[in-house]
A and B are shown apart, each in its own frame.
Chain A
């Protein structure tokens, strides 16, 4: 690798000012599983790597008991999230996704913030969060700002982060009662996969446990950035959720998706998958919403 100097700030301010003072020649690094590969491949050639791993921050996801918001520090590893009983119990869509990202070894080092900032279309980390209407906090020279995660991504590898800004925290708003959520990563093998397609879904049901009060459908690898299937969501809202309506929602979502051919998969097949997987995730959400209510 091209040599660099490794700087270890202890606070966000220190990190940001280090970035500024080495303007144009520095990059942030958290877990390193993406950044080091980029440096090895000569796609990134910083003289300074500013580590974000030693900045004091919460070491696990935290639920605000009053607001019921979930706060996830961006510097938490995927493994911490995977093993969090809070996430397993109350945010199963996130657990579904996180536990299959990379490998145990990758998840032990890679941070959720790094995952989001890397902004790959496969977006295993982003889709479940977008599906839960998450927002992210960003810190920079101008202080802190907040943005809905769905607007965070501009294109493959591109986010709204300005130079020197750091993604610090993910905030998940409270879930309605009778909510079921699920994520599926469709791949050719069962591990170490970048998905052919990723579908995250959230359903909040009425007291009859059948009418859809709120629905979110997140799609990964269905467009250059993670997207929501807004038309499909509009179709389902207010309707009874069953196999038939879910099938139709899936068809609408398939038409909304902007899939393309790549060496990992062809467009027509991805489109097919959107329809099938939206239906299946919807059924899973139904089941999980029902179970939770007991």
Chain B
């Protein structure tokens, strides 16, 4: 590749200075004239009939402009299963249920109004465990469905697993579990709904899916009897996403309904407690896995059954199996694969998308089990992985066309960097785990495309309107780098606008680590079209053959005669202010050449796949069970690093999130109620918990990615849990199969290993402590 001046550079994020000076406006900072404040009343029971709601006192409170309950609103159903109204009527199914909402002139009055709403409940028997909920006599969460088991198609079988089981030399079988964790975006959720005189709606929302949100809101308007209206979604600066804003939420629809009722803009802004209790989590999973290999360590089959706690309503959590299939069928080469997942209603909170979208959960089971299988076969776990590593230019049983694949190189790199052969002190161990993730978009909708509009102004500066969403990961900067490189401009000449559906072209959303690949290719395509136009007029202006024109350093110049050059701004002005003048603009919609999964879930979901391997060196304190990470290496095949600094940021951030997932984080539910809805008791890691992380980047230059790049937003948090679990096993010989791997679990396992069943006698009860 020719010398690149901007792609591949450690360019600071475009909006970093705005953020560093406190200028950026988040939803918290947006106000509109006459704006009202909305608040939502949540259920007091995990499962109950709503006998009566009396809002009369709330309505009479001075300053209150609108009060709504589930009875007052039209039929609006959120979520992929359409089982979730924004305000519940008839009954509540979880503590998180929205029962009523008010809009008032200030927050204090809105809160007071909530206290004045009297709800009479009749408690119903509740169910909090999915396996119990599957039983015939379990309380029904949604009576109309006649069962708590959702009708979901998650079943696949490639090859013949039963036959493979019969011939396998070694088989391991176990159950793994992952519990609820949550995104903990520093900027809490919020939105403002604002109708104009003709009932066209504007919603300010920190959404990751502006155009799908637009569609959802149009649906809401239709249900309200407002057909043929326009919806505009404006994104203020987003204070963190990680998948939390991949679905529309009740509070957005509630804000719309309140705004319509009150004829004034309504803002709903979550506080931290609400952020924990009323936004959705990562999907928990009970995973039964068995894998087998032949005498030489070649994987023969992988058989997984999962039970997913769907909570009271359905959001993207129920679709995580579609992504879990990716590591299940394609992480390492395994010819026979069987998978089945049941999603079960309970009266718990519900899950939606979270970084990795099911991949971390599945990879925890798979990679822990791989380690166990390697040891059962008496093969070094690293060697076992090499034996089964995916290679370039292969097609997996699920039909994934693997183009570039640097998995083996990643494994080797990690082994090198983690000091695999360094002497281990007592309690120290090393563990590995690999990952596969979509790296070239993911066709989960009718389109996986992203549009870009680009225009150059009279000064040679460029505006790029992209459908993509930046939520801190650096989409804006990567796009600007690609455009600047293509047009020979400086990075500060590029202005990227991604904030307004009225202005930006369509994009399906910021998910599946697709933004660099898809939005990048889209921006590149638009820039190339613009370049054609520039080259054409430059050739005319310089009286040269267009083939000779180069764009570099804000100029168009003739390659053979450098004296013939013109400043781009000057060129544009010439073009604009002459008879028959025109402006330079281009558009390009890029929809990657990937496939929707078929009925058998086969299909090339992504144009390319990102691979990686993580290695963890841990020290286990055998007296307390505490696990300390001494060293962590996360190597990824990223195709090409458009911006190594921002890429590293994604890896470091993903790894720390993943370490929290592995060791400390859990949303603690007790009979459906979240007991730790704050940062004090939800153990998100602090700066003092950082570990020594190395993030080597492998570039395999994918032929389809922009300059060869693949996605990297999610991989950092995918294999952390099994890498650490495997390291713990290597260190002290205990296998923890439930996340998070708390010191209690490790200590209890160590004691069991020593044959100590009880953990002492409780002097008060004189019974043995249950050390589970």
Q: Do A and B touch each other in the complex, judged by CB within 8 A? A: yes
A37 to B760, CA, bound (A): 38
A21 to B681, CA, bound (A): 39
Query: A-facing mask of B743-758, CB < 8 A → 1, else 0?
Result: 1100100000000000
Interface stretch of the complex, out of A22-30, A140-148, A161-169, A266-274: A266-274
Nearest to B679 among chain A residues (CB) is A192
A191 to B683, CA, bound (A): 10
Once A191-B687, A192-B686 are accepted as A-B contacts, the answer to whether A272 and B664 lie under 8 Å apart by CB is no
State the Cβ distance, B114 to closest chain A Cβ, in Å. 13
A276 touches B664 (CB 8 A): no
Asked if B161 is an interface residue, CB under 8 A from chain A, the answer is: no
Nearest to A263 among chain B residues (CB) is B675
B763 touches A255 (CB 8 A): yes
A190 touches B681 (CB 8 A): no
Query: A-facing mask of B341-381, CB < 8 A → 1, else 0?
Result: 00000000000000000000000000000000000000000
State the Cβ distance, A55 to closest chain B Cβ, in Å. 30
Asked if A290 is an interface residue, CB under 8 A from chain B, the answer is: no
Query: B-facing mask of A89-110, CB < 8 A → 1, else 0?
Result: 0000000000000000000000
Nearest to B686 among chain A residues (CB) is A191
B670: A residues at CB distance < 8 A? 263
Main secondary structure of the interface of B (DSSP, over half): loop
A263: B residues at CB distance < 8 A? 668, 670, 675-676, 681
Asked if B197 is an interface residue, CB under 8 A from chain A, the answer is: no
Asked if B759 is an interface residue, CB under 8 A from chain A, the answer is: yes
A255 to B761, CA, bound (A): 9
Nearest to A258 among chain B residues (CB) is B764
Asked if A151 is an interface residue, CB under 8 A from chain B, the answer is: no
B760 touches A191 (CB 8 A): no
Asked if A189 is an interface residue, CB under 8 A from chain B, the answer is: yes
A138 to B545, CA, bound (A): 93
A188 to B665, CA, bound (A): 10
- Among the listed A189, A264, A269, A271, which residue makes an inter-chain contact with B688, where contact means beta carbons less than 8 Å apart? A189
* Tally of B interface residues using CB under 8 Å: 29
B688 touches A191 (CB 8 A): yes
Asked if A265 is an interface residue, CB under 8 A from chain B, the answer is: yes
**CB contact list, A231-289 vs B, under 8 A:** 254-255, 258, 263-269, 271-273, 276
A276 to B750, CA, bound (A): 15
- Among the listed A190, A194, A272, which residue makes an inter-chain contact with B759, where contact means beta carbons less than 8 Å apart? A272
A230: B residues at CB distance < 8 A? none
B676: A residues at CB distance < 8 A? 263
State the Cβ distance, B533 to closest chain A Cβ, in Å. 54
A265 to B771, CA, bound (A): 12
Once A263-B675, A264-B681, A267-B769 are accepted as A-B contacts, the answer to whether A189 and B686 lie under 8 Å apart by CB is yes
A4 to B686, CA, bound (A): 34
State the Cβ distance, B752 to closest chain A Cβ, in Å. 13
State the Cβ distance, A194 to closest chain B Cβ, in Å. 6
Query: A-facing mask of B245-259, CB < 8 A → 1, else 0?
Result: 000000000000000
A189 touches B683 (CB 8 A): yes
**CB contact list, A213-230 vs B, under 8 A:** none
Once A186-B624, A269-B747 are accepted as A-B contacts, the answer to whether A192 and B763 lie under 8 Å apart by CB is no
B743 touches A188 (CB 8 A): yes
Nearest to A266 among chain B residues (CB) is B744
B624 touches A276 (CB 8 A): yes
A269: B residues at CB distance < 8 A? 743-744, 747, 759, 771
State the Cβ distance, A27 to closest chain B Cβ, in Å. 21
- Among the listed B680, B688, B769, which residue makes an inter-chain contact with A190, where contact means beta carbons less than 8 Å apart? B688
Query: A-facing mask of B612-640, CB < 8 A → 1, else 0?
Result: 00000000000110000000000000000
Nearest to B624 among chain A residues (CB) is A276
State the Cβ distance, B756 to closest chain A Cβ, in Å. 11
Query: A-facing mask of B730-745, CB < 8 A → 1, else 0?
Result: 0000000000001110
Asked if B18 is an interface residue, CB under 8 A from chain A, the answer is: no
Q: Which of A192, A194, A254 has the most CB of B within 10 A?
A: A192
**CB contact list, A48-92 vs B, under 8 A:** none
Once A188-B742, A189-B688, A263-B676 are accepted as A-B contacts, the answer to whether A271 and B769 lie under 8 Å apart by CB is yes
Asked if B685 is an interface residue, CB under 8 A from chain A, the answer is: yes
**CB contact list, A148-206 vs B, under 8 A:** 186, 188-192, 194
State the Cβ distance, A57 to closest chain B Cβ, in Å. 30
A268: B residues at CB distance < 8 A? 759-760, 762, 769-771
A276: B residues at CB distance < 8 A? 623-624
Nearest to B770 among chain A residues (CB) is A268
Asked if B689 is an interface residue, CB under 8 A from chain A, the answer is: yes
State the Cβ distance, B427 to closest chain A Cβ, in Å. 14
> In the complex, which range does the number of interface residues on chain A fall in?
20 to 34
Once A255-B763, A263-B668, A271-B760 are accepted as A-B contacts, the answer to whether A191 and B689 lie under 8 Å apart by CB is yes
Nearest to A40 among chain B residues (CB) is B271
Nearest to B668 among chain A residues (CB) is A263
Query: A-facing mask of B640-672, CB < 8 A → 1, else 0?
Result: 000000000000000000000001100010100
A290 to B683, CA, bound (A): 37
B763 touches A272 (CB 8 A): no
B744: A residues at CB distance < 8 A? 265-266, 269
A270 to B255, CA, bound (A): 46
A135 to B83, CA, bound (A): 62
Nearest to A3 among chain B residues (CB) is B108
A107 to B365, CA, bound (A): 42
Once A191-B686, A263-B668 are accepted as A-B contacts, the answer to whether A254 and B623 lie under 8 Å apart by CB is no
Query: A-facing mask of B672-697, CB < 8 A → 1, else 0?
Result: 00011001110101111100000000
B760 touches A254 (CB 8 A): yes
Nearest to A270 among chain B residues (CB) is B744
B742: A residues at CB distance < 8 A? 188
Once A188-B664, A267-B769 are accepted as A-B contacts, the answer to whether A272 and B624 lie under 8 Å apart by CB is yes
A171 to B508, CA, bound (A): 66
**CB contact list, B23-50 vs A, under 8 A:** none
Nearest to A100 among chain B residues (CB) is B688
A287 to B686, CA, bound (A): 30
A188 to B688, CA, bound (A): 12
A272: B residues at CB distance < 8 A? 623-624, 747, 759-760
B762: A residues at CB distance < 8 A? 267-268
Once A188-B683, A192-B679 are accepted as A-B contacts, the answer to whether A271 and B759 lie under 8 Å apart by CB is yes
State the Cβ distance, A253 to closest chain B Cβ, in Å. 13
**CB contact list, B680-722 vs A, under 8 A:** 680-681, 683, 685-689
A276 to B751, CA, bound (A): 14
Q: Which of A188, A192, A258 has the most CB of B within 10 A?
A: A188
- Among the listed B689, B759, B763, which residue makes an inter-chain contact with A189, where contact means beta carbons less than 8 Å apart? B689
A43 to B550, CA, bound (A): 70
A269 to B547, CA, bound (A): 75
A109 to B769, CA, bound (A): 41
State the Cβ distance, B275 to closest chain A Cβ, in Å. 16
A194 to B763, CA, bound (A): 26
Once A271-B759, A272-B747 are accepted as A-B contacts, the answer to whether A192 and B681 lie under 8 Å apart by CB is no
Q: Which of A186, A189, A263 has the most CB of B within 10 A?
A: A189
B770: A residues at CB distance < 8 A? 268
A255: B residues at CB distance < 8 A? 763
B688: A residues at CB distance < 8 A? 189-191
- The list of the 9 closest CB pairs from A to B, nearest first, reads A268-B769, A190-B688, A268-B759, A191-B688, A191-B686, A276-B623, A269-B744, A263-B675, A189-B689
Q: List 20 A-B contacts (CB under 8 A).
A: A188-B683, A191-B686, A191-B689, A192-B679, A192-B686, A254-B760, A255-B763, A258-B764, A263-B675, A263-B681, A264-B681, A266-B744, A268-B759, A268-B760, A269-B744, A271-B759, A271-B760, A272-B623, A272-B759, A276-B623
19 extra A-B contacts, CB within 8 A, seeds A190-B688, A194-B681, A269-B743: A188-B663, A188-B664, A188-B743, A189-B686, A190-B686, A191-B686, A191-B688, A191-B689, A192-B680, A192-B686, A194-B680, A263-B675, A267-B769, A268-B760, A268-B770, A268-B771, A272-B623, A272-B759, A276-B623
Residues of B within 8 A of A (CB): 623-624, 663-664, 668, 670, 675-676, 679-681, 683, 685-689, 742-744, 747, 759-760, 762-764, 769-771
